[in-house]
Chains A and B, each alone.
Chain A
Amino acid sequence: MTVSHPHTHLADAVAPQPVSFTLNGDAKTLNVRPFRRLLDVLRTDLALPGTKEGCGEGECGACSVLIDGEPVNACLVPVIQCDGATVVTIEGLASHAALHPVQEAFVAHGGAQCGICTPGMVVTAAWMADNKMNAAAIREKLSGNICRCTGYSAIVNSVAAALGESE
């Protein structure tokens, strides 16, 4: 017997369509049901499980990815809206040669604990770093990324280090 997942009702109700987008630098064309969440398509169809599901309702930021350079919740994006877009996930931040400076900083400053919020935190922080934002904005810009382990200080310190300043 198949157990019906609450998130699949609408997602499974519309016939598949082709959707093309750039994912971590590579062109992808998928034949997918258009209302499936980008989150599920990434994790299940594209075998990129780095993007996590926390709340599934846009509150926690564990599923943060970049669409056209902006951080979004992948749980709130029907995959059809990625047609023509550029998507970057946690898997796309490091190059073969090196981690992203934000990833280096999380390693150096103990910014990860259980790891569920970490990919989303790193994606949002990398957006801050790549757009040269000020460390004073860290707590506000990361307010959509919820952590239940660290109490945030280690995370904020990691991001501040990556931005080249202390908070």
Chain B
Amino acid sequence: MNSWKLKEIVVMSVLSVVFAVVYLAFLPVGKILVGFFGPIGYDLIFGIWFIVSIIAAYIIRKPGAAFLSETIAAAVEVLLGNAVGPMLLVSGMIQGLGAESAFAMTRYKRYDLFTLMLAGVMAAVFSFVWGYFLSGYAALSTGYVVAMFIARIISGAIISGVAGKALSDALAKTGVLSSFALGKEQRRKQAA
């Protein structure tokens, strides 16, 4: 934690607060999809619920960014009033760990599109395993469970990986990230 600058922590927590609100806003969207497609509805957009871990890690590039940001976002969701309550905190931590594991695999060296998509995929895998035990997907037919799993992985890769990167890059263009790892990298690229 000592390698973190205070401004990185505050920025991460602000991102978490923003996306906690976004996460809550997407719950009803998920519910509508569930109404149409059954439990798989959530999996289609599940990637949205990992996005802050990818964005924070991509911007700040320090060990723990993915895990902490997702955990804080979950904590804020609980504080704002979420039905699942404390359980959500655990879900958040597990998703965060999933994303974190991808960055750890590159030894926190690579932050390219592939790594970010991998982080989304890993978050999806971790969260699915947790969900499997928590919400009892075992009761569903195997084919359906596999379909859910695939949907969640794709959603993790696309929504949190690809869209998370696009959003961060667009943000970097505004210059507000100039003193963060992502902004510095872009500056180096421009200079080169």
Q: Do A and B come from one complex?
A: no
